Structure 1
Amino acid sequence: MQYIVFTDLDGTLVDHDTYSYEAAMPAIDMLKEKGIPLVFCTSKTRAEIEVYVDELNTGHPFISENGGAIFIPHDYFDVDYVSSRSTEKYDIIELGTDYSLLRNVLLNIAASEDLSVTGFGDMTDVEVSKDTGLDLDSACLAKQREYDEAFKLDGDEKDAETLISKIQANGLNYTRGGRYWHIIGENDKGKAVNILTQIYRKQYGDIKTVGLGDSLNDYPMLKVVDIPYLVQKHNGKHDPKIMDAKVNKVEGIGPVGWNMAISELLM
């Protein structure tokens, strides 16, 4: 039986404030030693994820922008699968909506409903850096969006309800993550994980999937894996919006909880 580990990044594998994954390194090394794929499934862009792929030398497929696309390195699988397009490095399975369409819809909603919405597309690299705490190079990578617009809403819950209603009326969807809202198409993390899981199953046969996240936008992923874990958020509490008893709640913040969950699983 082969484990496949799917994980969120911000607030889960990497610290919410420092963006460090050092606390999770013992478990990451354990996965490498046992030959267990570590698949990033995050709201981050392809360009951002590639930094972690290179730093951690994983070389596995990854899922960008809340399930917007699955990036599979060439010759990674021996089995056949259908992709949307290929680049020099990847076969890409696209599930999301084009970024420019998402931006246009969001801007139109904000203007027509008089909502104070600020998207990454409205911000400079310096502004994104200041707002997120990312260094300038990382902020530049965060703006290279393809299937998802990250944004902030400056308003009350009534404004939030109006925004949600208008996004859905346009045939689109949204998530509310640890830092930002995201406007997306029909994609979500769970749909992408399901597709990639089926390819892994064709490759390995008997597999067991593991998922780790920290917030509500991870729940679609946590619902479809065999073993779901919810780590504590940076405030030391679990996301109260995830009440599913099947989700294992880990007593550890971000990468600390991540390390505990994986270490205990593999012991």
Structure 2
Amino acid sequence: MKEYVLFTDLDGTLVDADTYSYEKALPAIKLLKERGVPIVFCTSKTRAEIEVYRKKLGIQDPFIPENGGAIFIPHGYFDFEYDYTRKVDGYNIIEFGSEYQKLRDALDEIRSKIRCDIIGFGDMTAEEVSKSSDLDIESAKLSKMREYDEAFELKGEDACIDLILEEITRLGFNYTIGGRYYHIMGDNDKGKATKQLTDLFSRKKDVETIGLGDSLNDLPMLREVDISYLVAKPGGSYDPMVSFNGLKKARGIGPEGWNKVILELMGRIEVKVV
């Protein structure tokens, strides 16, 4: 019998895009925990931010921070040996991303060449990040503790934005677009980390993977899982850049849609999809 493993985005998916509340998803989270389904956060958030949610929700499964920059696996989680990059703070870490400072240096180089208004999290105070993101100050501080990905804003003409993204690629880096910010990163994405972690889960079990997201940066992860759902954005629309055969659209915004999908898949309710 197959066992589920859930990969989920946070902002705009499990948690509300505006309030950062996961209240509407609590019934499904409770059911998943009762059934022993691993809940893997696969998000643009930092390790420090994710650890807050893991503590609040009592989740002890591996997680994937900063758009696939790494996989953090608690020591002893798997009862077999596997390759990892390093051990830190009770985790075995499998790293995919570039060093944060290299990403910052690349943005500085692009800024000096293009002379467009690029504002990264590393350029902002916690207060400025809080104002930009609607996070409280303490959460904003955690969001600045970046290791593998630099989130940034672009202000200016579309042509300026296109030039910056072209320069990111020219310098050998990648970019993606989340719900609020652009991201510069190395040769990593959510899909690569999802595949690697799925391989570990599958080593001793027959697993079926579920993925939920809301934005373009979730696309690699959604393509990698067996069952993929796109939740609606505030206002009820869906990200037009996230589309492929087999992708289902949940009827519900953020955590409301998330909750419905999980309850449906766990056999508790019947929910229509778009």
TM over 0.5: yes
Instruction: Tell me the residue number matched to 1:16.
Output: 17
Q: Which segment drifts farther, 185-194 or 156-165?
A: 156-165
Contact 1:12 1:231 in 2 (8 A): yes
Residues 96-245 of structure 1: pairs in structure 2 closer than 5 A: 96-204=97-205, 206-245=206-245
Residues 247-262 of structure 1: pairs in structure 2 closer than 5 A: 247-262=247-262
Tell me the matched-pair count: 266
Instruction: Tell me the residue number matched to 2:81.
Output: 80
For residue 261 of structure 1, report the CA deviation from its aligned partner: 0.5
What is the CA–CA distance in structure 2 between the aligned matches of 1:251 and 1:24, rounded to whole Å? 14
Q: Which segment drifts farther, 7-16 or 83-92?
A: 83-92
Partner secondary structure for residue 62 of structure 1: coil
For residue 243 of structure 1, report the CA deviation from its aligned partner: 2.3
Partner secondary structure for residue 203 of structure 1: coil
What amino acid maps onto 2:65 in structure 1?
S
Q: Percent identity?
A: 56
Instruction: Tell me the residue number matched to 1:42.
Output: 43
Instruction: Tell me the residue number matched to 2:93.
Output: 92
Partner secondary structure for residue 14 of structure 2: coil
Runs of 4+ in structure 1 deviating by more than 6 angstroms, as ranges, are none
| Structure 1 runs not aligned, ≥5 long | none
For residue 156 of structure 1, report the CA deviation from its aligned partner: 2.2
For residue 244 of structure 1, report the CA deviation from its aligned partner: 1.1
CA RMSD of aligned residues (A): 0.7
Partner secondary structure for residue 6 of structure 1: strand
For residue 203 of structure 1, report the CA deviation from its aligned partner: 3.2
Instruction: Tell me the residue number matched to 1:61.
Output: 62
For residue 88 of structure 1, report the CA deviation from its aligned partner: 3.0
For residue 252 of structure 1, report the CA deviation from its aligned partner: 0.4
What amino acid maps onto 2:51 in structure 1?
E
Instruction: Tell me the residue number matched to 2:272.
Output: none
| Structure 2 runs not aligned, ≥5 long | 268-274
Partner deviation per Cα, 1:43-65 (whole Å, 9 max, x = no partner): 00000000001000110000000
What is the CA–CA distance in structure 1 between the aligned matches of 2:244 and 2:89, rounded to whole Å? 41
What is the CA–CA distance in structure 1 between the aligned matches of 2:235 and 2:215, rounded to whole Å? 12
What amino acid maps onto 1:262 in structure 2?
I
Partner secondary structure for residue 259 of structure 2: helix
Contact 1:3 1:209 in 2 (8 A): yes
TM-score, normalising length: structure 2: 0.96
Partner deviation per Cα, 1:72-131 (whole Å, 9 max, x = no partner): 000000122101000231000010000000001011101111110000000001111111
What is the CA–CA distance in structure 1 between the aligned matches of 2:117 and 2:88, rounded to whole Å? 38
